[in-house]
A and B are shown apart, each in its own frame.
Chain A
Amino acid sequence: MNATARLATVASRPERVGLGVMVTLSLGVIALGAGWVAGPSAAVVAAAMLATVVGLVSVAFVGGLETRRALAPYGLLKPGILWLSLFFLAPLWSMVVMSLSSKESRFDFFPSFTWEWDNYRIALTDFRPQFLRSFGYAAVATLLTILIGFPLAYVIAFRGGRYRNILLGLVVIPFFTSYLIRTLAWGNILADEGPVVSIIDGLGLQGAFESLNIMDNGKLLNTPAAVIGGLTYNFLPFMVLPIYVSLEKIDPHLIDAAMDLYSSASAAFRRIVVPLALPGIFAGSLLVFIPAAGDFVNAQFLGNPQTTMVGNSIQDQFLRQLNYPVASAMSFVLMFIITIAVLVYTKFMGTEDLA
């Protein structure tokens, strides 16, 4: 009787119950996932989580319809939150711990946590060129994807007519092939005795390309231009598709109305089409910039030893040097910088239109 009464009291505040259960469960999942607890204590944590669920079910059972209705949002959130706890927060926590650990010797495979801030110093000083290069290349590639992607999306959206879907399909189809194969194919296309270089030579344009810094000493492959080109190519659809979606939603009557009010075509484009397409450009920029900054495939296969990006360095530190602490610090710095950049960008561009 007493227990049921207490349950009923608790059930009168369903929001707190819902929130409490969610937090408890995700903390439990993180604790298990990040390896804070192991063996018998892991069993205790698992039992506590089970008990929490049992408690939640009892509250929902006792509380009646109103309580259950109030609990429902938390129930719907739970799969996502728990998934993120296990596969994002727990690994992230492990990474932070690792990035502040140190190795006693080269083959110390279990670095111990020592507040080793030096890892961050190494990441930021020794690998500064790679960081700068990554963000530089990613920024240029993002701009190029806008310059190439916007007109493409515009033509498909406004002039595509009944071929729209086919044209969109054509944009996407090459990307059914493996990322790696496409990048390697560019290696063949841009090779010193490959088709592109021989056409450039044939037209006598080598000097022009060299002065634009696109070619270097007669080669196109293994130059910064090739890496940026590879990034641009590989991430283009991530720009085209969001811009297309924005443009496609524009009511053509808005443009007609502008023209009726004696707007010039270019003013209508500038003041109506572009602002309405901004959410697409914004989303596309994020979708291109973030993976491009962390990419290492293009630099590996299209670059040279002076174009390595931070992704290459992280891979090397992890898999060849076995320097997990520094590699973790680098990964964390990369994440941090990208997050800050995205926040600033969001502030600047605004996301209200995205919704």
Chain B
Amino acid sequence: MAGKLNRRQFLIRSGMAGAGALSLPALLAACGGDEGGSGGGGGNSLFFENWPLYIDEETVKVFQEASGVSLKYTEAYNDNNEYFAKVQPSLSKGDKIDPDVIAPTFWMAARYVQLGWAQKLPVDKIPNIANLRDDLKGQPWDKDQEYNLPWQTGVAGIAYNMKTTGRELKSVEDLFAPEFKGKIGLLTEMRDTMGLVLMGLGKNISKLSTFDEAAEAFDKVEKAKNDGQIRAFTGNDYVDDLSAGNFAACVAWSGDVLQLTKDNPDVRFVIPEEGGTNWFDTMIWVKGSENSDAVAKWMDYVYDPVNAAKITAYVQYMSPVKGVQDELVKMGGEAAPLAEDPLLFPDEATVARLQSWGALSEEEEAKFDEAFAAITGA
């Protein structure tokens, strides 16, 4: 591994630490201390809680100097469900939480919006919102783009270690190949794992609305688990298992593998021929926060392609901002080749293979989650 800790390596460690701390601090934090914090105040301060190493080292500082907003940027957002568990006692009582802006993945953002825990963004004051990629606009749960702005987007596909597999992989079926028995990893993120399996069965996940339509895929994964095909359901720690050769192949996120391949050329990423799942992490403005000016300034700043390109060059995920590709070329140096990277800027044929999950009703989503929890065995 390279000397500098990259985003995912960091995630692995903090994920473990999170699990090891028994999430006690999270529970404690959820129990009290909801008042006060950096909120309130004359609208010139902002608290953004994001996923770890999901921003370059300059942006926060430069933004503060340019805008005069004092930005508190933390990286305590580690897991959608756990973060939700942490903040729900406060938000469900109508209390504030400390952060003004948080970064849930799209389906979780939809939940915040549906529960009324997200505020309408000060869209008028964010002219750069015009730079939002068209394909991300107008989600079913946010048709008028009032509640969320995507932070970064990516693809879940299959990563494999050539040394262990001995061959190139192309299909979702490869995850179920008997030759890889006990060497397959799946993600605990239900939508990414089940999305791929469903596409492997020829389903269109953007059109799924009931669990019954998806039951077949759950049976398939359950059978694979019982047969010992699946070695582990992991979070970000799949990266270590993959490079160590414990996993021959696993469901993986594009940006991770991009970074990993640099250190270990045997590790490769493929968007299966049946398709890959599109996902994006959002920025939403949490209910109770009053810093609308600062929120607008921040979102406008990161939706400027010049600034967005700097973030992309570091995090290596797909930017939701139009014009980043040109800016990367202008930046030159190490950033320029990224503009050509098919995983950052996929061609049309690839884009056609990507699908994103449609919105699920509360009841159906519960069925999906419960069925998945029953399989992961936890």
By a beta-carbon cutoff of 8 Å, the part of chain A in contact with chain B is 105-107, 109-110, 126, 130, 178-180, 184, 188, 191-194, 216-219, 221-222, 297, 300-301, 303-306, 308, 312-313, 315-316, 318-322
Contacts and interface: CB of A to CB of B under 8 A. Distances in A.
Nearest to B375: A305
Nearest to B233: A305
- Size category, B interface: 35 or more
- Nearest first, the 8 closest Cβ-Cβ pairs linking A and B are A180-B20, A316-B378, A109-B92, A308-B377, A320-B81, A305-B377, A193-B245, A312-B378
B377 A306 contact: yes
A105 to B, nearest CB: 7
10 contacts: A109-B88, A188-B244, A191-B244, A303-B232, A304-B228, A304-B230, A306-B228, A306-B377, A319-B26, A319-B82
B7 to A, nearest CB: 19
B20 A297 contact: yes
B315 to A, nearest CB: 25
B370 interface: yes
A308 B373 CA distance: 12
Contacts of A179: 20
Contacts, number: 102
Contacts of A320: 81-82, 85, 373, 378
A184 B20 CA distance: 10
Contact of B245 (A191, A222, A301, A316): A191
Contact of A192 (B85, B244, B370): B244
A323 to B, nearest CB: 9
Contacts of A178: 20
Nearest to A191: B244
Contacts of A194: 244
Contact of A110 (B92, B226, B375): B92
Contacts of A193: 244-246
B373 A321 contact: yes
Identify the interface centre among B16, B233, B363, B374: most chain A CB within 10 Å of its CB: B16
Given A109-B92, A320-B378, 12 more contacts: A110-B92, A191-B245, A192-B245, A217-B182, A222-B246, A297-B20, A304-B230, A304-B231, A305-B232, A315-B22, A319-B81, A320-B373
B181 interface: yes
B204 interface: no
Nearest to B225: A305
Contact of A304 (B232, B244, B370): B232
Interface string B350-378: 00000000000011011001100111111
Given A221-B246, A308-B378, A105 B232 contact: no
B88 A191 contact: no
Contacts of B366: 106
A105 B363 CA distance: 9
B20 to A, nearest CB: 3
Nearest to B365: A106
Contacts of B377: 130, 305-306, 308, 312-313
B245 A300 contact: no
Interface in B213-247: 225-226, 228, 230-233, 244-246
A313 B20 CA distance: 15
A188 B231 CA distance: 15
